[in-house]
């Protein structure tokens, strides 16, 4: 069973779940941390975004180089062990600096897992299956957000934010051991050497790899679209629980349950549905529909988002937030299928890592920070509704995303690498 590619996809999806439990749990704990450590929204935005994202994104590039030539099982299990341990340590922080250092540790650990996981998925699934495979993997992300918000909200109210961090981190330490003995590495690899981070004769250097990706108009436009839409999405998502708590005076448990259900059910449906629809359209009508599927989804978001964030009635807010979440998560797997469609097998991990770097450095790094800063600026005039207006300011970015995803689709047919079917290889530890 361990040689089955669906088992591999399953355990990688479970690791993705833990990835986002440890990342997203901060969102439901922000209000308690703010009260306990006496932090501003700007400082909370730094913790949610830039402090984490810089190290998360930058670590991903050298680890991606390593993942293209070394044992991905070891990379994934070690990364999981590091970030889970640092999540536990977050529960012992006594000030902003301590918590920032712990979040940096989480970012360093999490930065190594996605490029290696994406490389394994692309190696085991054919081009016309990848959007679905990446979407299933991304469903672990929405499931992780569900667990983080529901369990995190309950643990926060029952035991406090410090215990909530510990509860979130311990299962990942256990899973790291399971992953080490469960994931099979199909390529034969030697001992780790620092030279693995360098390009060998005939291989593209890091700069050459960046230049190659940027010269691909299909990749470039998709990356720009992903970055701009994720600045809005990640900025808004980091503050949604706080918006519900402040504007509707709910507890963190209640806010966590609302967000968990919306993200877990609607987000998972959007992630998997987006992958299935994109694969089906691309198979029958051309690979350009990988990008055009996302252009359509974000066009609908452009209509829906301003309505959602102007809604002050809780029932209607939640009802409209559900389709908003479905549409947002359609991109979670498909954007990586686009990134892999224009590269050769030996550049897959690097393609994912660069896209992850851009999304996280700009999207996760600045999205929550911008929303937090805008919320502080609007607070004097808007009071507890300041977050609502800060989120509204982010929605124009979705319009630009529609244009860029459409442009990406125009160039994919001429740039796509379609002949890299997965090949059976002997599995080895």
Query: What is the pLDDT, as a whole number, of residue 339?
Result: 86
- In the DSSP assignment, the letter for residue 346 is G
> What distance in Å separates the CA atoms of residue 351 and residue 357, rounded to the nearest whole number?
10
Please report, for residues 37, 58, 217, 312, 355, the alpha-carbon distance to residue 210 in angstroms, rounded to integers and kept in the order given: 41, 14, 13, 45, 10
**Position 265 pLDDT exceeds 60:** yes
pLDDT tens digits along 162-182: 999 999 999 999 999 999 998
Rg (CA), the chain: 20
DSSP string, 42-84: HHHHHHHTHHHHHHHHHHHHHHHHHHTTS-HHHHHHHHHHHHH
Asked whether residue 95 is domain-assigned, the answer is yes
Domain assignment present for residue 57? The answer is yes
**Is residue 367 one of the residues assigned to a domain?**
yes
Q: Whole-angstrom Cα distance, residue 308 to residue 217?
A: 33
CA-to-CA distance for 82 and 73, rounded, in angstroms? 14
Give the residues across from 428 on adjacent strands.
185
CB-CB contact of 28 with 259 (8 Å): yes
**Burial of 118 from C-beta contacts in 10 A (0-12 / 13-18 / 19+):** buried
User: Between the ranges 17-31, 33-47, 165-179, where is the mean pLDDT highest?
Assistant: 165-179
Q: What angle do CA 224, 230, 234 make, to 5 degrees?
A: 160
Is residue 192 very low, low, confident or very high in pLDDT (cuts 50, 70, 90)? Answer: low
Could you give the number of structural domains in the chain?
A: 1
The pLDDT of residue 1: 37
Residue 292 lies in a domain: yes
* Residues in the chain, overall count: 429
Please check whether residue 362 lies inside any domain of the structure. Answer: yes
Distance CA 132, CA 337 (A): 9
pLDDT value of residue 429: 42
CB-neighbour burial class of residue 190 (10 A; exposed 0-12, middle 13-18, buried 19+): exposed
Q: Is 212 helix (H, G, I), strand (E, B) or coil?
A: helix
Question: 290 lies in a domain?
Answer: yes
Distance CA 112, CA 92 (A): 24
Q: Is residue 174 part of a domain?
A: yes
Residue found by looking up tokens 């402090």 in the block? 51
Look up the CATH number of the domain holding residue 395: 1.20.1250.20
Q: Is the pLDDT of residue 12 over 90?
A: yes
Question: Does residue 422 form part of some domain?
Answer: no
| Under 8 Å between Cβ of 377 and 239 | no
For residue 187, give the 3-state DSSP assignment.
coil
CB atoms within 10 A of CB 383: 10
Average pLDDT estimate for 2-28: 86
pLDDT at site 57:
72
Q: Which residues form the domain of 289?
A: 5-186+205-415
- Residue 185 — φ and ψ, nearest 5°? -95, 110
Provide CB contacts within 8 A for 219, sequence distance 6+.
213, 338, 339, 342, 343, 351, 408, 415
């Amino acid at each position: 069973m361990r040689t089955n590619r669906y088992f591999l996809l399953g355990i990688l999806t479970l690791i993705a779940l833990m990835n986002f439990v440890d990342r997203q749990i901060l969102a439901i704990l922000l209000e308690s941390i703010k009260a306990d450590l006496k932090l501003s929204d700007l400082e909370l935005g730094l913790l949610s975004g830039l402090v984490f994202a810089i190290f998360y994104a930058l670590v991903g590039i050298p680890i991606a180089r390593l993942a293209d030539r070394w044992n991905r099982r070891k990379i994934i299990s070690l990364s999981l062990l590091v970030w889970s341990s640092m999540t536990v340590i977050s529960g012992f922080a006594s000030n902003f600096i301590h918590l920032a250092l712990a979040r940096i540790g989480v970012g360093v650990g999490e930065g190594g897992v996605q490029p290696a996981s994406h490389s394994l998925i692309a190696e085991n699934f054919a081009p016309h299956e990848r959007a679905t495979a990446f979407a299933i993997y991304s469903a672990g992300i929405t499931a992780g957000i569900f667990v983080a918000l529901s369990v995190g909200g309950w643990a926060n109210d029952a035991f406090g934010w410090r215990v909530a961090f510990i509860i979130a981190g311990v299962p990942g330490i256990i899973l790291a051991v399971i992953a080490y003995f469960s994931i099979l590495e199909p390529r034969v690899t030697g001992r780790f050497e620092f030279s693995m981070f360098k390009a060998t004769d005939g291989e593209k250097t890091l700069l050459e790899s960046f230049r190659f990706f940027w010269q691909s108009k299909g990749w470039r436009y998709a990356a720009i679209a992903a970055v701009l839409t994720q600045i809005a999405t990640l900025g808004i998502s980091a503050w949604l629980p706080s918006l519900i708590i402040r504007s509707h005076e709910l507890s963190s448990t209640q806010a966590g349950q609302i967000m968990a259900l919306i993200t877990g059910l609607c987000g998972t449906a959007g992630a998997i549905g987006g992958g299935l629809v994109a694969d089906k359209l691309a198979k029958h009508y051309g690979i350009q529909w990988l990008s055009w599927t996302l252009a359509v989804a974000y066009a609908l978001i452009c209509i829906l988002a301003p309505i959602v964030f102007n809604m002050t009635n809780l029932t209607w807010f939640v009802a409209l937030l559900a389709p908003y979440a479905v549409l947002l998560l359609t991109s979670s797997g498909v954007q990586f299928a686009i990134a892999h469609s224009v590269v050769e097998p030996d550049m897959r991990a690097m393609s994912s890592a660069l896209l992850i770097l851009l999304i996280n450095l700009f999207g996760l790094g600045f999205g929550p920070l911008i929303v937090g800063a805008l919320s502080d600026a609007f607070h004097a005039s808007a009071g507890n509704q300041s977050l609502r207006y800060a989120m509204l300011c982010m929605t124009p970015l979705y319009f630009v995303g529609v244009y860029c995803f459409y442009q990406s689709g125009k160039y994919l047919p001429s740039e796509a690498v379609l002949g890299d079917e997965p090949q059976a290889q002997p599995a080895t530890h």
